Structure 1
Amino acid sequence: MSQKNPHSKIFILAILSVSIMITTGTAISSALPEMAKSFPNISVAKIDMIATIQQFSVMVTLLLSGIISKKIGIKKTISIGLILTGVAGVFPLFSHNFSLILISRLIVGCGIGLFNSLAITIIDLFYEDPTRSEMLGFRSATEQIGVSILNIIVGMLVLINWHASFLIYLLAFPLLAFFLKVVPEPPIPETNSDKKQRINVSVIIMTLLLALMVACSTSVVIQIPNIVVTDLSKTGAVSSLIISVNTLMGMITGIFFGRVYGFVKKFVLPIGIIFMAIGSLVIVSYHSVLGATIGAIICGISYPLVGSYIFSLVNVIAPEGSETLANSTLLIGANLGSFSTPFFLSELGKLNSLTTQAGPFLTIFWLLIILTVIILIYQLFFQKKTNNQL
């Protein structure tokens, strides 16, 4: 009976376990340099899409998951998502066809999109504040723990070959079995479907900002393996350890976000952006594994500060009664930022004279410095007049 108690440890673990698979798209980035050797006629930008293209289909199914869950139930929708993620995720283990691998990654995105937002919804349905807020924090940390551990596993599997790296998606099946055994079907509350939701300029601005910061954060995860393997002639195992440290730092920062926000308030936004700028400068300035590691750690502090702050603003910036649409819009922006990262890196690399794999980070540094100045000017000189919490 304790398993059915939402406050029991095993129930909490089962609820959180779903979130382990949400950020697995970029977990295989350490295998991309080795994969590129098998496809010499494919551009680096297209190879990098293996780690991000699933975000495109995530955006589509994010919008559909709510509709589907109302038809068949939340538990079945999450189960279908995990099955799709597991089956399509391991497909590259058996295939050497680049086009088919890209298609399988799109299917992975469909699976993740089905349970992405529902991983938050089931917490909302089973818990009330303050437990709910605590569980949402644990859920965010679970994502970071999952991708960090999987990065390390990928680093070991890539020593076999790049195909073996995709074995990590087999994890979806024991997670599915655990979830099905422990978690019952949560009730879906009745909603007022007559009330039309809308978004405003503030939500759009925050969505664009979130997309940019996710693109910068994902750039670190995607480009570190290229820097380590191509520029520094080290192995994919080394790059996976660096990425794991980056995600662990993100996890720690996310856990302490509440305390940081309580101390610096609205300035947590420019502070978070500055961390990404400084980390990018360190990555591009120090041509060494140590430099890449320190830069990745500093960058890891950034997104949890910016992302958590933006999502915490939803109740303030969204039109009344449109919080759900605002959250979905922000999630779409985040996935769009991740999906566009290979193109983002390619274009930024053209804006300076550096020819190394770390070159795009110099442009990222200057872009974020300019953005920080704009935000600070707004907060210091205009925010007082509008009394807006942005």
Structure 2
Amino acid sequence: MAKVISKFHSWLIIVALLSLNIVEQAASVINATIPGMAKSFPNEALVNIELVTTVVSIFVTIFVLVSGVIVKWIGQKRTAILGLLIASVSSIIPAIINNFTAILISRAILGIGIGLANPLAISLIGVFFYGDQRAKLMGWRSAIAGIGTAAMTFVAGQLLVFSWHAAYWVYLLFIPTLVLFIFVVPDPEKSGALQRQEVEQEKEMAEAAKQGNEVKKNPIGLIILLTLLTFFTLVSMMVFAVKLPTYFVQSHIGTPTDASNVWSAVNLATVVGGFLFGPIYKKLGKYVLPLGLLSAGIIPFVSSLWLVYAVSMIEGIAGSLIIPYIFNRISEVSSAKKAPLFTSIALVGSNLGSFMAPYAGEVLGMGTNAGLAIMNAGIINIILAIASIAVIFMLKKANVAKRI
């Protein structure tokens, strides 16, 4: 039987789960240390030094899948704690040593820790929260991650005044999240939370069936489609990010600085969109997905600097609707035991999409045409929006026919 959780305890759990999402995106907060490291290690090529950021992403991508296997052995809470412990220790190693190889290895280990904890930041929301509150928190997770990452980047910049080594002490901010997980977050397997999740899911599915939206539990086909959607969404969004500065120069819209400012506006809009996802999802339900995709496809068709600013804000909000919808949908249809694995699979799609974006940009732009690459990325989103609307109506029609 599930233990009764007080309102205060519930809020502490929310803080713990949302702060875990900050850990997920924290690899890049020390990017400003690269010039200082280049001076400290003059015999290392700059591309090798830049690996301190990218090597983390490689190991995160690998270990998000491993996380699902570890969960089966030791449970969700212990896997999250293990990942946080690995991340907390490995992340501060560059602050105390001056050996580049050891630093690079520590960053790879950081990727292992983040990869193990990463899926739990999403699946545990589905364990402890349901319905509208779960959808709201799925939106909040991206917003809080953006705010937290910006705050950590700022703190790292202040520490950089002392030395590039000092900037790595910013990762001590992982410790409060680790403490919260140890002492505040209940063990889903022992507290009865998994059983309650199953009961709540049965209620949600019964209600969905009444409304003509019947979906089987653990639908592998749907998980694959959502993973592919995550991949293509991240490809299109990151093509926009990567190609925007070149597009500004080639099209004489503005300077690379203007492009950077536009991307800052996108990140700000992402935070706003994250907080708006819950209320919008409550009103529109599954139609949030085509709305987000269609909005993300608008950007290629404007050429004025101020219109680009305006539409880029829409782009940021749109991204904050699509990704939370995908992970909320996975939580809705996945059993308690399958949710971490299915979340991990979707996260691999997300990471691969980001990784492939530069190469996709070359293909979509027929080489060096940044404007064409951005336009084609937008068209991909519009095609996905049309396809999602078609699928929604086909499923609705099939469910109506089944009831008849």
Cα displacement (A) at 1:205? 1.3
Name the CA shift for 1:198/1:88 in 2 (closer, same or farther; >3 Å): same
Q: Which residue pairs with 2:317 in the alignment?
A: 301
Q: Which residue pairs with 1:259 in the alignment?
A: 279
Q: Which residue pairs with 2:81 in the alignment?
A: 79
Structure 1 unpaired stretches of 5+: none
Structure 2 unpaired stretches of 5+: 196-216
Q: Is the 8 A contact 1:273 1:306 kept in 2?
A: yes
| 1:117-176 CA distance string (max 9 Å, x none) | 334555566667776665555445433332243344466677888776655423212433
Q: Distance in 2 between matches of 1:220 and 1:338?
A: 16
Aligned partner of residue 188 in structure 1, secondary structure = helix
Which residues in structure 2 correspond to 1:8-19 (within 5 Å)?
Answer: 8=9, 12-19=14-21
Which residues in structure 2 correspond to 1:331-370 (within 5 Å)?
Answer: 331-353=344-366, 355=368, 360-370=373-383
Q: Which residue pairs with 2:209 in the alignment?
A: none
Cα displacement (A) at 1:327? 5.9
Q: Which residue pairs with 1:385 in the alignment?
A: 397
Name the CA shift for 1:12/1:383 in 2 (closer, same or farther; >3 Å): closer
Q: Distance in 2 between matches of 1:167 and 1:262?
A: 41
**One-letter code of the match for 2:87?**
T
Is 1:249 the counterpart of 2:269? The answer is: yes
Q: Distance in 1 between matches of 2:246 and 2:149?
A: 19
**One-letter code of the match for 2:292?**
G
Deviates more, 1:268-277 or 1:25-34: 25-34
Q: Is the 8 A contact 2:142 2:320 kept in 1?
A: no
| 1:273-330 CA distance string (max 9 Å, x none) | 1222224666xx56x7x787556533221222122333343477x5xx7575366324
Cα displacement (A) at 1:34? 9.3
Match of 1:63 among 64, 68, 91: 68
Q: Which residue pairs with 1:207 in the alignment?
A: 227
Q: Distance in 1 between matches of 2:256 and 2:142?
A: 34
Name the CA shift for 1:177/1:47 in 2 (closer, same or farther; >3 Å): closer
Which residues in structure 2 correspond to 1:103-252 (within 5 Å)?
Answer: 103-120=105-122, 123=125, 138-153=140-155, 166-177=168-179, 179-180=181-182, 182-183=183-184, 185-186=186-187, 188-189=189-190, 199-219=219-239, 232=255, 234=257, 239=260, 245-252=265-272
Q: Is the 8 A contact 1:48 1:342 kept in 2?
A: no
Q: Is the 8 A contact 2:65 2:341 kept in 1?
A: no
Q: Distance in 1 between matches of 2:164 and 2:362?
A: 26
Match of 1:276 among 296, 299, 306: 296
Q: Which residue pairs with 2:206 in the alignment?
A: none
- Percent identity, please: 25
Q: Is the 8 A contact 1:311 1:327 kept in 2?
A: no
Q: Distance in 2 between matches of 1:156 and 1:242?
A: 24
| 1:343-370 CA distance string (max 9 Å, x none) | 3322322432563777743331232233
Choose between structure 1 and 2: higher helix proportion. 2
TM-score, structure 1 normalization? 0.70
Cα displacement (A) at 1:111? 0.9
Q: Is the 8 A contact 1:228 1:234 kept in 2?
A: no
**One-letter code of the match for 2:66?**
T
Cα displacement (A) at 1:270? 2.0
TM-score, structure 2 normalization? 0.68
**One-letter code of the match for 2:397?**
K
**One-letter code of the match for 1:24?**
A
Name the CA shift for 1:141/1:179 in 2 (closer, same or farther; >3 Å): same
Name the CA shift for 1:342/1:139 in 2 (closer, same or farther; >3 Å): closer
| 1:41-99 CA distance string (max 9 Å, x none) | 749997973573243133233213413433xx82x5433322322333345565684x7
Name the CA shift for 1:254/1:367 in 2 (closer, same or farther; >3 Å): same
Name the CA shift for 1:51/1:356 in 2 (closer, same or farther; >3 Å): farther
Name the CA shift for 1:199/1:25 in 2 (closer, same or farther; >3 Å): farther
Name the CA shift for 1:16/1:58 in 2 (closer, same or farther; >3 Å): same
Q: Distance in 1 between matches of 2:86 and 2:340?
A: 24
Q: Is the 8 A contact 2:123 2:343 kept in 1?
A: no
Q: Distance in 2 between matches of 1:328 and 1:105?
A: 24
Name the CA shift for 1:184/1:254 in 2 (closer, same or farther; >3 Å): closer
Q: Distance in 2 between matches of 1:107 and 1:365?
A: 36
**One-letter code of the match for 2:322?**
V
Name the CA shift for 1:186/1:308 in 2 (closer, same or farther; >3 Å): same
Q: Distance in 2 between matches of 1:95 and 1:336?
A: 35
**One-letter code of the match for 2:289?**
L
Q: Distance in 2 between matches of 1:40 and 1:345?
A: 21
Q: Distance in 1 between matches of 2:155 and 2:72?
A: 35
